[in-house]
Structure 1
Amino acid sequence: MTQPFPPRQQPYPQQWGQPQGWPAPQPQPGRNRPQPGFGQPAWPQPGGFQQPGFQQPGGYQQHGGFPQPGFQQPGQQQQPGFPQQPGYPPRYPQQPGGFRPPAPPPRRGNPLGRVLILLVAVCGVLLVGVVVANVISGSPGVAPRPVETYTPPPPDMNPPELPVPKTYDEASAWLRNNPLYQQSITIPTDCNDMQPVDALNATEAELNDHLQKLTACLMKVWHGPVEAAGYVLPRPPATVYSQPIQTKCGKLDSVNASYCGGDQRIYYAKPLPKIFPKDLQGQKFLMEMILGHEFGHAIQARTGISISSNAWEQKVQSKAEANVFSRRLEVQADCFAGMWIHTVAPSQGLSSGDLDGLRTIAYNLGDDILSGKPNIDSGHGLGTTRQRWFETGLNGGPQIAQCNTYSPPDSQVR
């Protein structure tokens, strides 16, 4: 039986890595307006919609700070969004009319030298569940990658710049037809050098040690498909903290977990399990599930999905339209986390009861459950929606296309 989170007094404390925002860049001599930067559109947008930084339930704040840096104005007026295609979940990406195929982003550096890109923290609460009963060994005709012999590199303290689309057409193509969707993960993948940790009672040193093993396991699963898609996936540094911490994405409070695109790092707060209902605080694989979601945001950043989604989020005309883009980003990270849990569950000794507990967590992280407002329109998705996308990833096999959350209609990410 699920239990809603206890009511909180406004203002809600910020949770799980929502971006704090970045200062706008200063105008340069000889220019009439500031350079495009966080929260600064590259040119005036129709209707002048700017993300208002409204408060989300449970302390969520809408993603801010994704401008349209360096986008070239297309020859004809862009529509604030792209056509929806029916079907959920999409097994294979659909080719939208008029969108040119996405070119793989540069492996190092930014082709737009004049563009300042710092990806604000995209994170959100994670929720994903996983079933392990029918673990499959791979899909017919696809040779599994030798992930068992892959040795994850050390954390990359100086990662390459994140890829940036040049136009809104390219941004749409990266969202709906990203080369990543053509790849698959290897099921199962053994992470025998990592075992679940008691996140509620472990010391900070124990959690930090476990977090390094966890990111190594995540790299083992995701490195192959991301690089096969033509992108680069450096291993993000990861930190456990107990007190509020300053990052390049702003200050994170003491009950947070976040991927920050500004420094391409992952942060996890030791007290975080205590925000859950008491019967879920000791749930096995709780910390791992959270970090699987945050690593999903790292994948989105490294494949151009995050910047493309946030560019559209800031371009659209209303808060409701912006929320749809935010939800697509969040539930895709849920789906990625579900895929990861699916493939490592045997080596982690996860039982069907453990997986049921993770499903309960996924549901309880919905905007409606956190806020107590059944019909809320916010930026992460309803409990049933987040749980469904989590289960899509965990039940759907090795194809990453099942996590394409940018092709289904808006109602499927509500």
Structure 2
Amino acid sequence: MRWRGRRQSANVEDQRGRSAGFGRGGGLGRGGGMRIPMGRSIGGGGISGIVILVIVFFVLRFLGIDLLAMMGEQPRGETDGTTVQSAASDEMAQFAGVVLAETEDVWNGIFEAGGQDYPEPTMVLFTDQVRSACGFASAASGPFYCPGDGKLYLDLSFFGQLASQFGASGDFAQAYVIAHEVGHHVQNVTGVLPKFNRARQTMSEVEANQMSVRVELQADCYAGIWAHYTEQKGLLEQGDIDEALNAANQIGDDTLQKRSQGYVVPDSFNHGTSAQRKEWFARGFDSGRMSDCDTFSGSL
């Protein structure tokens, strides 16, 4: 996907490195800095202590010892590894911001054509764990959308897992994941998610799973719609759609269950089979029309 140099969304909330237990203000921030110990007041012996520290600082500086440099220095190997890892993470964050911006352009255009406003979602980037209006979640949950706050949540380490564990590599496989979660936001705006969440209260587990499959497949179809218009803008590269289809295939319920337990339990499916997920993404991509993403009428 040709994404470099393109607009990044302003609707990105970067919580990487923050502690989920303390909310937005908790932790030391994503820079991983250390807080300088501070005394409770500068009174009594406090000032004399500061004077002594200043004298020691300049004496050591005279001897060629730079305390400030020493405080900021790390072992060379560790610094290089940390720098590379941080740069890669920041690049993924930039990529995610560009993909979100592209979904904004597409869905704003579709909603505007229908005479409606599109309330853009916020994407929260987090590390390991996060709190949302839908409760506490860990990175093990994977990317998710919370209708309670209209935000999608993403731990960027999932992209590595997508490639290594699920065999779905490539930047457009990653873009498909983001576009799918944005698809859930579209469902929330159009009333599909609220309706489903009300109905599932009176459903059996099997019935709720069956309805969940239809919800998820529609989100796949909406991701395909985004890909349709992204291709029209000339942003797709050779192999991009294959990457998205492969990702859809690798995270189908049947494929995941075969990989984890060696057999499938269709009544427990809640996202759709690999074939279904590929089919509905392709439908959206081929037509670019929301009307072709009706997964609730007829058989799947």
Shorter chain as denominator, the TM-score bin is 0.5 to 0.7
TM-score by length of 1: 0.48
Aligned residue in 2 for 1:400 = 290
Q: Is 1:155 aligned to residue 11 of structure 2? A: yes
Looking at structure 2, the residues matched to 406 and 386 of structure 1 have their Cα atoms a distance apart, in angstroms, of: 15
Change (3 A) 1:358 1:202: farther
Higher helix share: 2
Matched AA of 1:218 = T
Identify which of 203, 216, 232 aligns with 1:330: 216
Change (3 A) 1:311 1:398: same
Q: Is 1:240 aligned to residue 125 of structure 2? A: yes
Looking at structure 2, the residues matched to 334 and 292 of structure 1 have their Cα atoms a distance apart, in angstroms, of: 8
Of structures 1 and 2, the one with the larger relative CO (CA 8 A, separation 6+) is: 1
Q: What aligned pairs does 1:11-410 form with structure 2 within 5 A after superposition?
A: 154-155=10-11, 203-229=88-114, 231-255=116-140, 256-276=142-162, 278=164, 280-316=167-203, 318-345=204-231, 347-351=234-238, 353-372=239-258, 373-377=263-267, 378-395=269-286, 397-409=287-299
Q: What secondary structure does 2:266 align onto?
A: coil
Aligned residue in 1 for 2:26 = none
What is the CA deviation profile of residues 172-226 of structure 1, one whole-angstrom value per residue up to 9, with x for unaligned ones?
xxxxxxxxxxxxxxxxxxxxxxxxxxxx996333333333322221111111322
Decide whether the 8 Å contact of 2:163 with 2:169 is kept in 1: no
Supply the RMSD in Å over aligned alpha carbons: 2.7
Looking at structure 2, the residues matched to 355 and 297 of structure 1 have their Cα atoms a distance apart, in angstroms, of: 20
Gaps of 5+ in 1: 1-150, 158-199
Aligned residue in 1 for 2:23 = none
CA apart distance, 1:266: 1.6
What is the CA deviation profile of residues 322-380 of structure 1, one whole-angstrom value per residue up to 9, with x for unaligned ones?
112111110000000011112213522321x3322321211111111111133422211
Change (3 A) 1:349 1:232: closer
Looking at structure 2, the residues matched to 360 and 231 of structure 1 have their Cα atoms a distance apart, in angstroms, of: 34
Q: What secondary structure does 1:272 align onto?
A: helix
Matched AA of 1:374 = V
Looking at structure 2, the residues matched to 382 and 315 of structure 1 have their Cα atoms a distance apart, in angstroms, of: 25
Matched AA of 2:174 = M
| Count of matched residue positions in the alignment of Structure 1 and Structure 2 | 215
Decide whether the 8 Å contact of 1:328 with 1:405 is kept in 2: yes
Decide whether the 8 Å contact of 2:12 with 2:124 is kept in 1: no
Q: What secondary structure does 1:379 align onto?
A: coil
Looking at structure 2, the residues matched to 375 and 385 of structure 1 have their Cα atoms a distance apart, in angstroms, of: 16
Looking at structure 1, the residues matched to 93 and 253 of structure 2 have their Cα atoms a distance apart, in angstroms, of: 29
Looking at structure 2, the residues matched to 319 and 374 of structure 1 have their Cα atoms a distance apart, in angstroms, of: 17
Matched AA of 2:118 = L
Q: Which has the larger radius of gyration?
A: 2
Change (3 A) 1:156 1:356: closer
TM-score by length of 2: 0.64
Aligned residue in 2 for 1:63 = none
Decide whether the 8 Å contact of 1:155 with 1:234 is kept in 2: no
Change (3 A) 1:243 1:263: same
Decide whether the 8 Å contact of 2:150 with 2:185 is kept in 1: yes
Percent identity between the two aligned chains: 28
Q: What secondary structure does 1:245 align onto?
A: strand
Change (3 A) 1:401 1:272: same
CA apart distance, 1:407: 1.0
Q: What secondary structure does 2:153 align onto?
A: strand
What is the CA deviation profile of residues 40-90 of structure 1, one whole-angstrom value per residue up to 9, with x for unaligned ones?
xxxxxxxxxxxxxxxxxxxxxxxxxxxxxxxxxxxxxxxxxxxxxxxxxxx
Aligned residue in 2 for 1:96 = none
Q: What secondary structure does 1:259 align onto?
A: strand
Q: What secondary structure does 1:235 align onto?
A: coil
Looking at structure 2, the residues matched to 213 and 356 of structure 1 have their Cα atoms a distance apart, in angstroms, of: 20
Change (3 A) 1:153 1:206: closer
Q: What secondary structure does 1:406 align onto?
A: coil
CA apart distance, 1:245: 1.3
Looking at structure 1, the residues matched to 127 and 143 of structure 2 have their Cα atoms a distance apart, in angstroms, of: 11
